[in-house]
Amino acid sequence: MIVVMKQTADADDTARVAQHIEERGFSLHISKGEARTIIGIIGANEHELDSDSFEVLPGVEKTMRIMQPFKAASRDFTQKKTVINVNGSQIGGDRVAVFAGPCSVETREQILETAYAVADTGAQFLRGGAFKPRSSPYSFQGLGHEGLEHLAEAREKTGLSIITEVMSVEDIELVEQYTDIFQVGARNTQNYPLLKALGRASKPVFLKRGLAGTLEELLMSAEYILSEGNMNVMLCERGIRTFETYTRNTFDVNAIPVLQNLTHLPVIADPAHGTGKWDLVNPISKSAVAAGADGVMIEVHPNPAQAKSDGAQSLTLKNFAALMKDLKRVAAAVDRSI
């Protein structure tokens, strides 16, 4: 960390900062410029340094961190990209992983019909919410345990692995008995007790970006899971809230290469929540694959007009098949396969 002194700081101010550093057992390097003095702290574990304790000292203008605030999620932690293996399918490998299925598990027939169709046309993972984080308490809240049973039956019949959301610490044990991957939704990205508990769970975690979350906040949330020992975490760009109103959210394609540079964790794109409109899902999925996403999550419903949640952003089975064809061509153009 570097401490930047104010132009008006005097020798006493600098001496006080130096003493503060030495009292903590670190050494320092003072650099006196024309206009101001800069003090480098040497030998400190930056993650444990409290910048506030420096910034309150007289004469200090600001502190600057040299390292990223995330450790285990960082590229410095390992140069090798994390590849997550789930029942023989890889996430983060050469192939772009495909997660597809309805927003919510609604009926046994609905999830089975969708599962057969998406398995046939290129998905490896079946998504479907059994516990739904709805903005209104009066909206469909999901089938709960029964929905997990339907997902498990769909896995047995199609060979797809399943991913479903877990909303609270109390539900982890139940959901873990069924799912192959835990999904953490945008509304829970900063639910730290949930993240810590998932860090001690045995299944991979699919962590969505918060509703208006920065990429650093997303990486710090991943850090909560990783620091408890669960290293199988993937990150998901699902759009963020901006001032734009023509789309539900603003899909941030920047996030894909930015995260790929900052972290070794796989990065998945969710263009359905990122746009809120089914006819935007195809072009934005293509842009995500072109930008280097390790996977796409697509909402698919046999009859979107009848969907109990997110019908407007769901693809029909036919449109999903068409999307998979298009994505094959885009993936090939960037030396990937799907």
Please, what is the minimum distance in Å from the beta carbon of residue 217 to ligand PEP? Answer: 15
Contacts of 137 (CB under 8 A, 6+ apart): none
Please, what is the minimum distance in Å from the beta carbon of residue 218 to ligand PEP? Answer: 12
Q: Using CB under 6 A, pick the residue from 273, 286, 308, 336 that binds ligand PEP.
A: 273
Burial of 307 (0-12, 13-18, 19+ CB in 10 A): buried
| Residue with smaller CB distance to ligand PEP, 186 or 195 | 186
| Residue with smaller CB distance to ligand PEP, 92 or 129 | 129
The residues facing 208 across adjacent strands are 236
d(C-alpha 277, C-alpha 70), whole Å = 34
Which stretch in 75-83, 173-181, 185-193, 227-235 sits in contact with ligand PEP by CB under 6 A?
185-193
Question: Number of residues in contact with ligand PEP, rule: CB under 6 A?
Answer: 9
Rounded to 5 degrees, φ, ψ at 26 are -110, 160
Q: Using CB under 6 A, pick the residue from 20, 203, 208, 286 that binds ligand PEP.
A: 208
Site string for ligand PEP, 53-92 (x = CB under 6 A): ----------------------------------------
| Residue with smaller CB distance to ligand PEP, 63 or 141 | 141
**Partner touching 274 among Mn ion, ligand PEP, none, CB below 5 to 8 Å by kind:** none
d(C-alpha 175, C-alpha 171), whole Å = 6
Please, what is the minimum distance in Å from the beta carbon of residue 317 to Mn ion? Answer: 17
SS3 label, residue 126: strand
| Residue with smaller CB distance to ligand PEP, 5 or 194 | 194
Please, what is the minimum distance in Å from the beta carbon of residue 283 to ligand PEP? Answer: 19
Q: Is 205 in the site for ligand PEP (CB under 6 A)?
A: no
Most distant CA pair in the chain, distance = 76
| Residue of minimal Cβ distance to ligand PEP | 185
Contact criterion met (CB below 8 Å) for 98 and 105: no
Please, what is the minimum distance in Å from the beta carbon of residue 20 to Mn ion? Answer: 50
Contact criterion met (CB below 8 Å) for 102 and 165: no
Please, what is the minimum distance in Å from the beta carbon of residue 338 to ligand PEP? Answer: 20
d(C-alpha 7, C-alpha 33), whole Å = 10
Residue in 17, 81, 20, 70 with CA at minimum distance from that of residue 46: 70
| Residue with smaller CB distance to ligand PEP, 33 or 133 | 133
Q: Using CB under 6 A, pick the residue from 59, 185, 204, 271 that binds ligand PEP.
A: 185
Interface positions, 118-177, toward ligand PEP (CB under 6 A): 129, 133
Beta-carbon count within 10 A of 10 CB: 12
Contact criterion met (CB below 8 Å) for 62 and 303: no
| Residue of minimal Cβ distance to Mn ion | 103
d(C-alpha 141, C-alpha 257), whole Å = 35
Contact criterion met (CB below 8 Å) for 102 and 304: no
DSSP state of 212: T
The residue ranges that bind Mn ion (CB under 5 A) are 103, 310
Q: Is 199 in the site for ligand PEP (CB under 6 A)?
A: no
| Number of helices (H), then strands (E), in the chain | 11, 14
Q: Is 186 in the site for ligand PEP (CB under 6 A)?
A: yes
Distance of CA 141 to the CA centre of its chain: 23
Please, what is the minimum distance in Å from the beta carbon of residue 103 to ligand PEP? Answer: 4
Footprint of ligand PEP (CB under 6 A): 103, 129, 133, 185-187, 208, 238, 273
